[in-house]
Amino acid sequence: MISIEQLHKKFGKNPVLKGIDLNISQKGIVAILGPNGSGKTTLIKSILGMVIPDKGTLLVANVPINKNWKYRDQIDYLPQIANFPANLTVKELIRMIKDVRNRPGEDKRLIKLFKLEPFLSKKLNTLSGGTKQKVNIVLTLMFDSPIIILDEPTTGLDPIALIHLKELIKEEKAKGKIILMTSHIMSFVEEMADEIVFLLEGKVYFKGNIEALKKQTEAPNFEYAIANLLIQEDV
C-beta of residue 179 within 8 angstroms of C-beta of residue 28: yes
Q: The pTM is what?
A: 0.93
Q: Which of 56, 31, 63 is nearest to 44 (CA)?
A: 31
pLDDT above 70 (res 235): no
pLDDT above 60 (res 185): yes
- pLDDT, the chain, mean: 92
Total domains, the chain: 1
CA 197 to chain centroid: 12
Question: What pLDDT shows up at residue 215?
Answer: 93
Cβ–Cβ contacts within 10 Å for residue 6, how many?
A: 13
pLDDT in tens, 211-233: 999 999 999 999 999 998 887 65
pLDDT in tens, 31-49: 999 998 899 999 999 999 9
pLDDT in tens, 133-184: 999 999 999 999 999 999 999 999 999 999 999 999 999 999 999 999 999 9
What is the extent of the structural domain holding 134? 2-234
Question: What pLDDT shows up at residue 63?
Answer: 84
Residues ≥6 apart with Cβ < 8 Å to 205: 34, 198, 199, 229, 233
- Indicate which CATH number applies to the domain containing 192: 3.40.50.300
* C-alpha–C-alpha distance, residues 217 and 221, integer Å: 10
Question: What pLDDT shows up at residue 232?
Answer: 66
